[in-house]
Amino acid sequence: MELWIGALNLGFLYALMAMGIYITFRIHDFADITVDGSFTSGASVAAIIIVSGGHPAIALLGAFGAGLLAGTVTALIHTKLNINSLLAGILVMTGLYSINLHIMGRSNIPLLSEVTVFTQIARFNPGLPQEIWYTLVLTGCIIIGWWLVSLFFKTDLGIAMRVTGNNSTMAGAVGQNIKYLTLLGVALANGLVALSGSLVAQYQGFADIGMGIGTVVIGLASVIIGESIIKSRSVYWRFLSVIIGSVIFRFMIAFALYIGMNPIDLKLLTAIFVLLTLIVSKMIANKPVNRESSRKILGNLRKALLNRWSAAILIIVILVAGSFLKFNPGKSPSDIKIGLVQFTDNGLLNVTRDSFLEEIHKIGYIDKKNCRIYIENAQGEIPILNTIIDKFLRDDVNLILTISTSATQAAINKVKDRPVIFATVANPFIIGAGTSDSVHIANVTGVYGGVPMDRMLEMVNRFFPDRLRIGCIWDPSQANVVFNVDNLRRELRNYEHYQFEGANAVNSSEVYQAALSLVNKNIGAFVLPPDNIIYSAFDAVVRVADSRNIPIFISDVERLEDGALLALGYDYTSSGIQAAHIVDRVLKGTSPAQIPFEKYTKLTIGVNLNVARKIGIKVPQDVLKKATMMIGDNPTNGIATKRLALFQFSDHSMMEECARGVLDELTASGILKKNNIIVERKNAQNEFTLGQSIAQDIVRRKYDYIITLSTPALQIMAQVNKQIPHVFGAVTDPYRMGVARSPAEHLPQLTGVATMQPVEEGFKVMRKLLPHAKKVGMVWNPSEACSEACTMKAREAAREYGFELVEANVTSTSEVMDALNSVLDRGVDIFFTSGDNTVLIAIESIGEVLKKHKIPYFGNTPSDIYRGGLISVGADYYNVGREVARVMEKIIAGAEPKDIPIQDCVPVQIGVNLVLAQEIGLKLPESFLKRVAVIKRS
Amino acid sequence: MIKIRNLHKKFNPGTANEVYALRGVDLDVCEGDFVTIIGTNGSGKSTLLNAVAGAFLPDEGSILIDDHEVTKKPDYKRAEYLARVFQNPFSGTASAISIAENLHIASLRGHKSYPKKGLNAARLQFYRDKVAVLEMQLEDRLNDTIGTLSGGQRQALSLLMAVINPPRVLLLDEHTAALDPKSAAQVIKLTKKFIEQGRLTTLMVTHSMQQALELGNRTIMMNKGQIIDDIGLDEKKQLTVDDLLNKFIQIRKQEQLTPELLAELKQMYA
């Protein structure tokens, strides 16, 4: 129920803004974008007045005044300077962003424990539930507001304003001063918008610099929805329709959350709903209306109105009834329910959430088994935060876990009767959650911590014990970030030999400029607090820093690889873990009032030695000792750590065997230890795009050596790598790949081992075991290069050993069985498959059919005999791997790939399925069996 | 009532589109005069009316209305002295506002509008009576918006709106040109009625020679930004449409006869 009541209240509060938009857009035909700024101005002015102890009524007056002022400026720019109205609005809105920040002094002012309009209203509550009392009072206020505004537009002045917007030629002709009236209208409208903003801020418990974004869209949507529902031209009806439109808009959002829609889709839903409303209203309008007399017109108008009204009321009734009926079945009342909400999708918040979920699972709360965990994301929008919390309350959760400061702020304002646990909050005290760790709001507790700037500066000082100018970039509209930067500056007072230079960036495109400006001021190092905007544009900072060899110190350890020198920060996974334990305690009965706030404990210090080497900085020994993670070479060893990428295309046994051979040889020779080389295995899981990403990553991260296994891996790697020494293996025919023309003529950065299928050997064995056989059947896919090569060889070998080859082609696996039957129809004695992927997928089915016909099945791959093949004459990939490793060893010792010719390496390995041989009655001579390496006996 | 001295106006001076619309116009109009203004296309008749109305400011010259100097005043400041009916029926009325509200605003012409509800029941009745005079059955539809009316009805209303608060000068700018013959006739009838009733000083630009001769006590002919003929009531009574047309043809001929050509002819035939 709270969900809908909350929506209704928000609808009324925003209705004032919608009326303002109606005045500018419809009455004055003035496209006014100022509202995104004036809405926030109203909120900021009211917040400042309230926080300084002013009476809430004065706050409302002040807000209205701020809006009047903003609107006046926009109108003056338009009328006096003849600048297009749209542009004038944008200019003022942009300027207001800075002005609002100055008014508030920071990006967010909490109003939780202040005397607001709503606390005053609450005092008169005769005993009803709080939200319902608000609704009643707000209904009364909105009716008064509606009546006043409509009445105004019925006065002489109001009519004059309406005429000005509707027909400016006539307005001038009847003596109206158009410029003056437009100014009046735009000012009044923005006054209403600012008033709306001030009320919304007091309702939700805080004023925030970002709360105005998107206001003009919400207002227009409300106006459009209202106009489609009520078509009357009367001034009273028009303003009423706007109010109704605003309420319906809020209901839509509540509905979307109620049915569990992802908040991401809300904007799409808004657009669709507005479109539907317009379509339906057009359909109704097209019904023929009898125009014979004016009275009949009025009558029909009333009928049409009634239709639309009844439709709207019906929808609202269904929604409200639905909320009472509670659609969701199967919810047992004893289930524990946890509501988890994060403000945006940023990495740190996600890390907290994931580690929380993992830990809570470990503790024993299994989602959907003994509890329900609702996970929501507000996508960075504060009104959505409020609606999510309403939803949690409606779902009757046992406690709410909030991740990030904004989410926590919204929750502690709304939720008084159940626990609120917070995680990943920089400073809970500035949002009013408490005065100290143990003295705090009774139902709130959690895990917090800013970046330990004192430790950070300690680290910096170890690198730079002398004078240093530190550069810092941050987004001033994020309270968390400002808090961390303030801490940094405060700690800097202890370092008299350090200077501070700061630069702001409000979106990612400004980061590059900010970094450049700092570098031009000759900073010696960057020290960056955790900030979404900076991190999303981190590459820009790295670029700038690299060009002057300036080190970067950051607090987000995940960014270490991307070019920072040192990362020092709290481990956000521990935030989630600690929060999970608090949640457990609370659910088991401890009251949050008894649990003091916890600070993060685990500190992570990461050092990127590659960066240190690149910019020529020596990392002090004690820093290395303290580091909990390191990337890159260890300079104390004397020899740099090298990395070898062992890249295979899939899990196929052929590649696994080969890899095993490579690793065994490399380890046995001792070359890895001697040269301080670590091997990293990469697997493309048989997916081309994944393979491409891996190859690009290998090149980007500048691995020292590369070994690829299988033809696709070779191809992908050769395309992106031109420098790193590359040895390939498990490739049938490198010459067809375009990497080489002959063993000696090949691409200079690579060399390797070619393993042609031992087709000839296979036919030799065939002839030996079956001296009387005449025809050999073969099914293959001509579009597979390897398969084609094998077939060529097969034809030669067949001739040599006196066989007739019977072939059939397929293009996909589904055709294989038919092709097989056609081959069998032509009477073959032996069946042969090369390493053809298309056919091999169906190998079991082929084996079944051949077994029935008692035809020996010869294959190319050792593993075939386990899947239906009788005899396999193939290459021993383990030994191929060892050969590949031997080639790589030469390169590590100093040889260059261009000097090493491609080798052929075909260690033949024969496998036999004895069980199958018995079943089809094939006798195998002892001499043959001696040569067999792999036997299936049971 | 109206004194115009040496009025000059060039539009887009110095460009390829330059138009020298008014080339030194002098005009005296007495109180109660009903002056019709005719001329060929581009003669400057509408421009003259616009100059008096204040749609633009002249380059040179002066305009006085009822001895008030209005030359530099913008249009809305002159509205207390004059009322205008435009050629386009859609220009004179506000389509999103009701008929009553339109009339109300018109009646406020020349006064400041305050946030007080002037449109009360008494005023509404007053407007009802005024609208009944038009004989278009609009008096029952006062609360309908203007958007539902036809061009003729709107123009009639525009006329009513112009005189409802009697102006010192009434400016009519080809106000029947966009109407069908029936509506045009109706509007002309109303025009005559209102002007007689109020004894209004009127300047009416018309394209119709017939109208020019039938209406008013004075007709002015314009050509190329100047007044070339000023016909009083007695002469008007004797003229026919053909006579007027002949006058125009004469002028045309004279125009083709440039001074150079005239000198040449004189030389040839003298």
Which of A527, A600, A535, A610 minimizes the C-alpha distance to A570? Answer: A600
| Mean pLDDT calculated for residue range A526-544 | 85
Considering CB atoms only, which of B53, B93, B141 is closest to A170?
Answer: B93
CB contact under 8 A, B109 and A163: no
pLDDT at A90: 94
Instruction: Say if B79 is an interface residue toward chain A (CB within 8 Å).
Output: yes
Q: What's the pLDDT at A539?
A: 85
Query: Average pLDDT over chain B, rounded to whole?
Result: 86
What does the alpha-carbon distance between residue A480 and residue A42 come to, in Å, rounded to a whole number? 23
Strands across the sheet with A525-528, in order?
A: A498-504, A468-474, A525-528, A552-554, A566-570, A603-608, A629-631
Gap between the Cα atoms of A437 and A444, Å rounded: 11
With an 8 Å Cβ cutoff, are B113 and A176 in contact? yes
pLDDT digits (tens, 9 = 90+) for B54-85: 888 999 899 999 888 888 888 888 888 899 99
Q: Which residues contact B43 (CB under 8 A, 6 or more apart)?
A: B222, B223, B224, B225
Mean pLDDT score, A232-256: 87
Segment among A123-132, A429-438, A554-563 with least mean pLDDT: A554-563
User: pTM value?
Assistant: 0.57
Is B116–A175 a contact, with Cβ atoms under 8 angstroms apart?
no
The single residue listed with the structure tokens 């900076």 is: A534
pLDDT for res A286: 64
Q: With cut-offs at 50, 70 and 90, classify the pLDDT of residue A147.
A: very high
Contacts of residue A789, Cβ cutoff 8 Å, sequence gap at least 6: A732, A733, A736, A756, A757
Q: How many CB pairs under 8 A join A and B?
A: 97
Q: Identify which of A156, A172, A294 has the shortest CB distance to residue B76.
A: A172
Q: B98: which chain A residues are within 8 Å (Cβ-Cβ)?
A: 233
Residues of B in contact with A150 (CB under 8 A): none
Measured distance CA(A426)–CA(A446) in Å, rounded: 11
Give the model confidence (pLDDT) of A38-76 as tens digits: 999 999 999 999 989 889 999 999 999 999 999 999 999
Stronger pLDDT, A77 or B255, i.e. the higher one: A77
pLDDT attached to residue A261: 66
Residue A72: which H helix or E strand, with range? helix A56-81
Q: Are strands B226-231 and B218-223 parallel, antiparallel or unpaired?
A: antiparallel
- The residue in chain A having the minimum alpha-carbon distance to the alpha carbon of residue B89 is A170
DSSP B189-208: HHHHHHHHHHT-EEEEE-S-
Mean pLDDT to the nearest integer, A131-148? 91
Confidence category of residue A307, pLDDT binned at 50, 70, 90: low
- Give residue-wise pLDDT tens across range A707-719: 999 888 898 888 8
Give the residue from B29, B35, B21, B39 showing the smallest Cα distance to B5: B29
Give the pLDDT confidence of B108-167 residue by residue, as tens digits: 988 888 888 888 888 889 899 888 888 888 888 888 888 778 888 899 999 999 999 899
* pLDDT tens figures, A830-858: 999 887 877 887 888 888 888 888 899 99
Which residues in chain B have their CB less than 8 angstroms from residue A157's CB? 113-116
DSSP A37-62: HHHHHHHHHHHHHHHTT--HHHHHHH
Separation CA A788–CA A226 (nearest Å): 70
Nearest to B105 among A174, A178, A294 (CB): A174
Nearest neighbour of B106 by CB, restricted to A152, A169, A174: A174
Q: H or E stretch including B27?
A: strand B19-29
Nearest Cα of chain B lies from the Cα of A276 at a distance, in angstroms, of: 26
The DSSP result for A763-803, as a single string, is HHHHHHH-TT--EEEEEE-TT-HHHHHHHHHHHHHHHHTT-
Q: Using a CB–CB cutoff of 8 Å, tell me whether B141 touches chain A.
A: yes
Whether chain A has a CB inside 8 Å of the CB on B139: the answer is no
Neighbouring CB atoms inside 10 A of A255's CB total 20
- Which pLDDT belongs to residue A548? 83
pLDDT surpassing 60 at residue A102: yes
* Average pLDDT, integer, range B241-258: 74
Question: Would you call B218 an interface residue with chain A, using a CB distance cutoff of 8 Å?
Answer: no
Give whichever of A181-195, A610-624, A655-669 has the largest mean pLDDT.
Answer: A181-195
The pLDDT value given to residue A311: 60
**What residue of A is the nearest CA neighbor of B85?**
A173
Within 8 A of B75 by CB-CB distance, chain A residues are 172-173
**Which has the minimum average pLDDT: A111-115, A286-290, A345-349, B27-31?**
A286-290
> Does residue A933 surpass a pLDDT of 80?
no
pLDDT at A329: 39
* Average pLDDT rounded to a whole number, residues B220-245: 83
pLDDT in tens, A637-658: 445 678 899 999 887 778 888 9
| Mean pLDDT to the nearest integer, A206-227 | 86
Q: Tens digit of pLDDT for each residue in A852-869?
A: 888 999 988 777 788 888
Question: Tell me, what's the pLDDT at B244?
Answer: 77
The residues that bridge with A606 in the sheet, in sequence order, are A567, A629
pLDDT over 80 at A183, yes or no:
yes
Report the distance separating Cα B111 and Cα B165, nearest Å.
10
Structure tokens at A914: 């004895």
Q: For A782-793, write each residue's pLDDT tens digit.
A: 877 678 888 888
Determine the Cα–Cα distance for residues B142 and B121; give it in Å rounded to an integer: 12
Give the gap in angstroms from C-alpha B96 to the nearest C-alpha of chain A.
7
Residues of A in contact with B116 (CB under 8 A): 155-157
Q: Which residues pair with A731 in a beta bridge?
A: A754
Residue A103 tokens, joined? 């008014």
pLDDT at residue A437 is higher than 70:
yes
Taking contacts as CB-CB distances below 8 angstroms, the residues of chain B near A155 are 113-118
Edge to edge, what strands does the sheet with A642-648 contain?
Answer: A677-683, A642-648, A705-709, A726-731, A750-754, A903-904
Give the pLDDT confidence score for residue A1 in this predicted structure.
64
Distances (CA, A) of A351 to A372, A561, A604: 20, 17, 15
pLDDT band at A298 (very low <50, low <70, confident <90, very high): low
Q: What is the pLDDT of residues B93-115, one digit of tens each?
A: 888 888 999 999 999 988 888 88
A752: which 2 tokens?
């390797």
Question: What is the per-residue pLDDT across A729-777, written as a single tens digit (0 to 9) for each?
Answer: 988 888 877 788 888 888 889 999 998 888 888 888 888 888 888 999 9
Cα separation of A157 and B114, whole Å? Answer: 5
Name the band, by pLDDT with cuts 50, 70 and 90, for residue A185.
very high
Please state whether beta strands B60-65 and B68-69 pair in parallel, antiparallel, or not at all (unpaired).
antiparallel
Choose among B90, B91, B97: nearest Cβ to A163. B97
Per-residue pLDDT at A364 exceeds 80: yes
In angstroms, the CA A849 to CA B117 distance is 99
A231: tokens are 């078509």
C-beta separation of A120 from B77 below 8 A: no
Would the CB atoms of A166 and B75 count as touching at under 8 Å?
no
Beta carbons within 10 angstroms of residue B72's beta carbon: 11
CA B45 vs CA B22, B25, B159, B172, B174: distances in Å:
9, 11, 20, 11, 10
B117/A169 touch (CB, cutoff 8 Å), yes or no: no
Residues in A closer than 8 angstroms to B109, CB to CB, are 174-175
Instruction: Identify which of A735, A728, A722, A690 has the alpha carbon closest to the alpha carbon of residue A709.
Output: A728
- Residues A378 and A263 sit within 8 Å (Cβ to Cβ): yes
pLDDT of A429 strictly over 80: yes
Chain A residue with minimal CA distance to B53?
Answer: A173
A200-to-A15, A392, A453, A459, A664 alpha-carbon distances in Å: 11, 21, 36, 45, 69
Residue B119 contacts A where some CB pair is shorter than 8 Å: yes
**Distance separating alpha carbons of residues A916 and A926, to the nearest angstrom:** 17
The pLDDT value recorded for residue A296 is 56
Q: Are A511 and A505 contacting, i.e. CB atoms less than 8 angstroms apart? A: yes
For residues A574 and A449, the answer to whether their CB atoms sit within 8 Å is no
User: What's the rounded mean pLDDT across residues A193-202?
Assistant: 94
Question: What confidence tens digit (pLDDT) does each residue in A549-589 have?
Answer: 889 998 877 677 788 888 888 777 788 888 999 999 998 88
Residue of chain A whose alpha carbon sits nearest to that of B161: A174
Residues A447-465: tens digit of each pLDDT: 888 778 888 888 888 888 8
Name the band, by pLDDT with cuts 50, 70 and 90, for residue A292. very low
Structure tokens at A45: 């002015």
Per-residue pLDDT for A636 more than 70? no
Is B105 in contact with A178 (Cβ distance < 8 A)?
no
- ipTM score assigned to the predicted complex: 0.88
- Cα B155 to Cα A569, B125, B161, B178, B187: the distances in Å are 78, 21, 10, 9, 7
Does the pLDDT value for residue A245 go beyond 90? yes
Contact criterion met (CB < 8 Å) for B116 and A156? yes
A160, B117: Cβ pair inside 8 Å?
no
3-state secondary structure A542-556: HHHHHHCCCCEEECC
Residue A585 sits at the vertex; the CA angle it makes with A581 and A589, to the nearest 5 degrees, is: 165
CB-based contact A173 B104, cutoff 8 Å: no
User: What pLDDT, on the 0 to 100 scale, is given for residue A320?
Assistant: 55
User: Considering Cα of A427, then A431, then A436, then A439, what sign does the dihedral take?
Assistant: negative
CA A547-A552-A555 angle, 5° bins = 155
Nearest-Cα distance to chain A for B169, in Å, is 13
The verdict on a CB contact (< 8 Å) between A160 and B113 is yes
On the question of pLDDT at A325 being above 60, the answer is: no
